[in-house]
Amino acid sequence: MPLRFQHNKIYTYIGEVLVSVNPYKTLDIYGQQHMAQYRGREMFEVPPHVYAVADACQRVLRQQGRDTCVLISGESGSGKTEASKFIMKYIAANTMQVHREYIDRVKNVLIQSNSILETFGNAKTNRNDNSSRFGKYMDIHFDYKGDPVGGHISNYLLEKSRVVSLQPGERNFHAFYQLLSANATHAKKFGLNPNSTYKILGNERPTAQDSKLYNVTNSAFNALGFPPAVVDNIWSIVSGVILLGELTINDAGEGQISVGGPMKQCANAFGVSEEALRTALAGRILSAGGELVSKDHSLTDANYTRLALAKAAYDRLFTWIVQQINKKIEAPEDSYKSSLIGVLDIYGFEIFDTNSFEQFCINYCNEKLQQLFIELVLKQEQEEYAREGIQWTPVQYFNNRIICELIDAPHQGIIAIMDEACLNPTKISDTQLLEAMDKRLSGHKHYTSRQLSPTDKKLKHGVDFRITHYAGEVTYSITGFMDKNKDSLWQDLKRLLHASRNAALRDMWPEGAARLQQTSKRPPSAATLFRSSMAALAAGLASKEPFYVRCVKPNPAQAPHAWDDRLVRHQVAYLGLVENVRVRRAGFASRQRYDRFLQRYKMLSQYTWPNFRGAGARDAVAVLLRDLQLTDVLFGHTKLFIRSARTIHSLEAARAELIPSIVVLLQKLWRGTLARIRYRKMKAAIVIYYAWKRYRFRRYIASLQSEMQRNRGVIQRWPPGGGIAAPLLQGAYRRWRAYLTLRGVPREQWPQLKLKICAASALRSRRSQWGAAREWRGDYLAINSYNAKSALYQSAIASLQRSQNIGKPLFSCKIHKFNRYNKLAERCLLITETSIYKLDANSFKPLKKPTPITEVGAVRAMSSGAQLVVVSVPSARNDLVLGLVPPSGEPDLLGELVGVLAHRYRLLSGAELAVEVESGATTRCTLGGKLRALQLPPSPAAQPPAHLHARAQRHHLPPRLGARLNEYSPVM
């Protein structure tokens, strides 16, 4: 192993267990080309690598449909977290292309979540610059194709005591330093200064790397879909925890205490009032016999409350973030979850100068995982050999069950003793707890203390106790065990945080909604909760096919190329690698039941495919192996044992080579059968269909002939039925009727007839006169009798066609245009194929920007003969209010204008133009952004013209305008 390490070969196999040595430097062995090298390859075919384990894990899941898990273990700083990242990266990349968009989203969430969890759950220790201070287990769910469809993250025992207590040379969680880095915007909001010193940061300060990671964390929040308001809430809670560390609590005399420091900023960060926070820190309210009693805190209790609030707020924040990530990555309810891969990245075994409650739980976790490894790899394997009658020389190994029972045995273990002390109505000190442990565990060979070993001067009397773990002896300090195990927080603080303006913080404390008089059951202790979660984790892992990655730390200085042989030997011993080597060398790589082996590999022999005609599965397997000439096997009572992994891989390779041809054969036969059945059904259906179609068609034609005979060639009512022939016949009939109608009309009058039809559909029976009887000449300004300057007009239009490509003029005339100031101006109107132009009456140049015909919302006219037109343009703030000036002898131009606009609008937009005809003397329009009502003056026999009234919703035409109207409104 040292020689391989010197040549940057950091991976080694022991059977299927991967041993990974942390190189403490970046190696170029994790790119896409390396992924391709391991994709679909057997482990022995390629050099050892974490990608090979990930591929083998995913192959078992896809081929056999079995749940798998990757157990990553090792000492703190040995590279467990990095190994889990590479496994996640490989699994995410090695998917199929179907539903790629959704799969890419799941991959992105799974990978991006690592950045967030490291920010809030990792810290620098004396052994590791990026140590995971929590345990993480992730289940990745896959569909039947082997593509990820979601996941779930479980977190275990965040080391929240680090928030308020740091060992020398260590840093707090990364989140605090990122928040106080140079480019952090959230810190300024709460008055935090990157250059200031804060107690919970210890002697460490933010660095340039923290600034970069702050941006990475926020990018990860954004990638996971966290709203900006939620991200602000998260950083505000982190700010509040920092500011809690700066609060000062002093004795104010007469049993009172005073709370000083940045109270206002701290309350603002937590979203509570300053007075409510001060009250919660200074005292608490108790419920006794249904009555509420207020109790002031002592100086010690107040400081304890402040620190407990800081730890609890950060712990709940971390758990809440994990819950939000789970919501982003959980599989949809309607998705099919076929199997899963679990990835465990949990604390390494820790031995510090001072080991407290957290190290006790962490090392207990490692004991449980080691016990699982012994049960799955060593003990069960050797027991199976004896059970199946295989000759075997047992390999001696240390079973750490006795250590696990020392800690978690009911009524007798250390956790049970601590829980009994917490349930005692009187306050039990840490020293009294140690005395109870000494009394109950005095005869256990893996437990000792100074009281039990008076000559051991390394143990402090009344403080230290020692447990001989499988990894070595660890001395724990009993100080703080009782408080950390109780993990209690006053109900007043829970109610305070539940009432916060910070929505995320309020969501983290649902129990704060309980009434003051309501009493609840004492919550389980921290150690009991952790023991239950470890038991559930071990049970879940035991039900899956395990793959192991054993991480080794080469030296304590985290230096590349340095090899500490003594340290490595110690790790190899307590990781159980020596026993694993012995068992693997002497044992069998694989064992399978006869029926399953036969079902999987029977296609490899002509004697067993497709079915064996012998006595049973064992005889069939014997015939199969004899035909394949495989000898490195032994026959057990119920299973076949195969010694070499290469034999398994050769069988799988041969099977994989035959499967496509077998599948193609089965598909060919079944598809041919289905095709023949479908063809016969289709042929019969076609015969029936055409016979029925001819019959129905003949009946329909007969009914049409009868209808035309009754009505002299006119079909007044189409008979029902007809199928697809009915629209064809109706179209032919309409064309025939149109031909009869139009055959007397000259061809050159058809374009004008189209316009008159459009005008008739809009104005017929709604306006008495609309020019239907006269000839529509369209471009009236080009007629010399109507416009004395027709030559100038034609020259101007020709210039516009060259410069602006306005198209062919369809309609033009003289108009009177009205504006929002009741001003009347003489203008000319021009309608081309696409737009409406207002022209100067003298030079015929366009005024302002033309109005596209497609932007016209509606056209309004009067039911009388008035030539007043309102062209509504919703996109503008002013409608076109026009008075048309018809040629002499032709009293109406409005019908022709409506016909041209309706025809072009339908051609350009595919919809019908809305034409509104007002029946009274008032019409609506929008002028200057306001809704107005234009009222025509009465006839000369009636009263004098109305005057303008200064009202916002009604706009009467002035007398001058009425006179103008009379000029071109002869009906009035």
DSSP structure string for 532-571: HHHHHHHHHHHTSEEEEEEEE---TT--TT---HHHHHHH
In this prediction, residue 289 carries a pLDDT of 60
Mean pLDDT estimate for the chain:
83
How many other β-carbons are positioned within 10 Å of the β-carbon of residue 69? 21
Active-site residue among 73, 81, 356, 363?
Answer: 81
pLDDT for 103 equals 56
- Residue 550 φ/ψ, nearest 5 degrees: -100, 115
* Alpha helices, DSSP H, located in 410-459: 414-423, 430-440
DSSP code, position 846: B
> How big is the CA angle at 365 (ends 363 and 366), to the nearest 5 degrees?
65
User: 611 is written with which tokens?
Assistant: 């079915």
Distance CA 73, CA 348 (A): 6
pLDDT digits (tens, 9 = 90+) for 248-273: 988 877 768 888 889 999 999 999 99
Catalytic annotation present for 150: no
The single residue listed with the structure tokens 């055959």 is 743
More confidently predicted of 71 and 684: 684
DSSP string, 852-867: EGGG--EEEEESSS--
**Whole-number pLDDT of residue 530:** 86
pLDDT at 667: 93
- What average pLDDT does range 621-635 have in this prediction? 85
pLDDT for 290: 62
pLDDT grade for 655, boundaries at 50, 70 and 90:
confident
In this structure, what token pair is assigned to residue 319?
A: 């758990």
Classify the phi-psi angles of 517: left when phi > 0, otherwise alpha if psi is within -120 to 50, otherwise beta. Answer: alpha
Pairing of strands 955-956, 930-935: parallel
Answer yes or no: 274 catalytic.
no
Adjacent-strand bridge partners of 824: 818
Structure tokens at 93: 């990349």
Q: How many helical (H) and strand (E) elements, i.e. helices and strands, does the chain have?
A: 31, 30
Find how far residue 961's CA is from the centre of its chain. Answer: 65
Please give the average per-residue pLDDT across 824-839, as a whole number.
91
For residue 504, give both structure tokens. 């995320």
Highest mean pLDDT of the ranges 162-166, 271-275, 522-526, 801-805? 271-275
Location of structure tokens 């017929």 = 764
Unique residue bearing structure tokens 């006053």: 490
Instruction: Note every long-range contact of 685-690, with CB atoms under 8 Å and residues 24 or more positions apart, other chains counting.
Output: none
- pLDDT, average across residues 424-439: 89
Residue 100: predicted pLDDT: 54
Q: Which two tokens stand for residue 878?
A: 């002013």
Mind listing the pLDDT tens digit for each residue in 751-776? 888 888 888 888 878 888 888 888 88
Note every long-range contact of 448-452, with CB atoms under 8 Å and residues 24 or more positions apart, other chains counting. none
Per-residue model confidence as pLDDT tens digits over 135-145: 888 888 888 77
Q: Give the pLDDT score at 965.
A: 38
Kindly tell me the sign of the dihedral angle through the C-alpha atoms of 628, 630, 633, 634.
positive
Residues in binding site: 74-81
pLDDT at 968: 34
Among 37, 94, 127, which residue's Cα sits nearest to residue 359?
A: 127
Strand partners, 293: 286
How many angstroms separate the CA atoms of 507 and 498, rounded?
7
| Backbone region of residue 292 per phi and psi (left: phi > 0; alpha: psi in -120 to 50; beta: other values) | beta
Rounded Cα distance, 77 and 170, in Å: 14
Phi, then psi, of 843 in degrees rounded to 5: -95, -10
- What is the C-alpha separation between 442 and 139, in angstroms, rounded? 41
Using the 8-state DSSP alphabet, how is residue 27 labeled?
Answer: -
- Among left, alpha and beta (phi > 0; psi -120 to 50; other), residue 157 is left
Q: Is the pLDDT of residue 883 over 50?
A: yes
Cis peptide upstream of residue 891 (ω within 30 degrees of 0) = no
Query: Are 366 and 400 a contacting pair, CB within 8 Å?
Result: no
Catalytic residue of the set 68, 119, 132, 218:
132
Per-residue confidence at 323, pLDDT binned at 50, 70, 90? very high
Q: Does the active-site annotation cover 520?
A: no
What's the pLDDT score for residue 687? 95
Q: Among residues 618, 590, 591, 620, which one has the least CA distance to residue 605? A: 620
Asked about 367 being catalytic, the answer comes back as no
Flag the least confident range among 213-217, 281-285, 870-874, 949-953. Answer: 949-953
Q: What is the pLDDT of residue 961?
A: 41
At 285, the pLDDT band (50, 70, 90 cuts) reads confident
What tens digit of pLDDT does each residue of 466-524 get? 999 987 899 999 998 988 887 677 788 888 898 999 999 999 988 877 766 565 556 78
CA distances, 240 to each of 191, 299, 305, 538, 600 (Å):
11, 21, 15, 37, 61
Q: Is 954 helix (H, G, I), strand (E, B) or coil?
A: strand
CB atoms within 10 A of CB 920: 10
- pLDDT higher than threshold 90 for residue 314: yes
CA 520 and chain centroid, separation: 37
- 350 carries an active-site annotation: yes
Is 356 an annotated catalytic residue?
Answer: no
Region 264-289: mean pLDDT is 86
Alpha carbon dihedral 705, 711, 714, 715, in 10-degree steps, equals -60
CA dihedral 684, 689, 695, 696 (to 10 degrees): 160
In this predicted model, which residue has the larger pLDDT, 289 or 924?
924
Looking at 20, 68, 95, 131, which residue is catalytic? Answer: 131
Question: Which residues are annotated as part of the binding site for ATP?
Answer: 74-81
pLDDT of 972 above 50: no
452 touches 442 (CB < 8 A): yes
pLDDT at 170 over 60: yes
Q: Determine the Cα–Cα distance for residues 445 and 468; give it in Å rounded to an integer.
A: 8
Contacts of 101 (CB under 8 A, 6+ apart): none
Tens of pLDDT along 104-126?
A: 666 677 678 888 999 999 998 88
> Of the residues 202, 348, 413, 895, which is catalytic?
348
Query: What are 393-428's pLDDT values in tens digits?
Result: 676 777 888 999 999 999 889 999 999 988 887 788
Who wins on pLDDT, 573 or 541? 541
pLDDT at 957 > cutoff 60: no
Q: How far apart are CA 894 and CA 885, in angstroms?
A: 10
Query: How many other β-carbons are positioned within 10 Å of the β-carbon of residue 615?
Result: 8
Other Cβ atoms within 10 Å of 442 Cβ, number: 12
| Residue-wise pLDDT tens digits, 542-568 | 888 888 898 998 998 888 888 998 888
DSSP character at residue 443: T
pTM above 0.75, yes or no: no
Separation CA 716–CA 736 (nearest Å): 15
Q: Tens digits of per-residue pLDDT, 600-611?
A: 888 888 888 888
Terminal-to-terminal C-alpha distance of the chain: 110
Distance (Å, whole) CA 157 – CA 136: 9
Does position 589 have pLDDT exceeding 70, yes or no? Answer: no
| CA–CA gap between residue 421 and residue 419 (Å, rounded) | 5
Active site residue 590: no
Residue among 42, 68, 77, 835 flagged as catalytic: 77
Q: Where are the alpha helices (DSSP H) in 41-153?
A: 50-64, 80-93, 100-121
In whole angstroms, give the CA distance from residue 892 to residue 899.
13
Percent of the chain scoring above 90 in pLDDT: 24
Cα–Cα distance, 859 to 519 (Å, whole number):
74
496-501-502-506 Cα dihedral, nearest 10 degrees:
50
**Which backbone phi and psi does 142 adopt, to 5 degrees?**
-125, 150
What is the side-by-side order of every strand in the sheet holding 858-862? 851-852, 835-840, 824-831, 811-818, 880-885, 868-872, 858-862, 914-918
Instruction: Give yes or no: 132 in active site.
Output: yes
Q: Of these residues, 42, 118, 350, 896, which one is catalytic?
A: 350
Which among 76, 95, 477, 787 is annotated as catalytic? 76
CA 952 to chain centre: 52
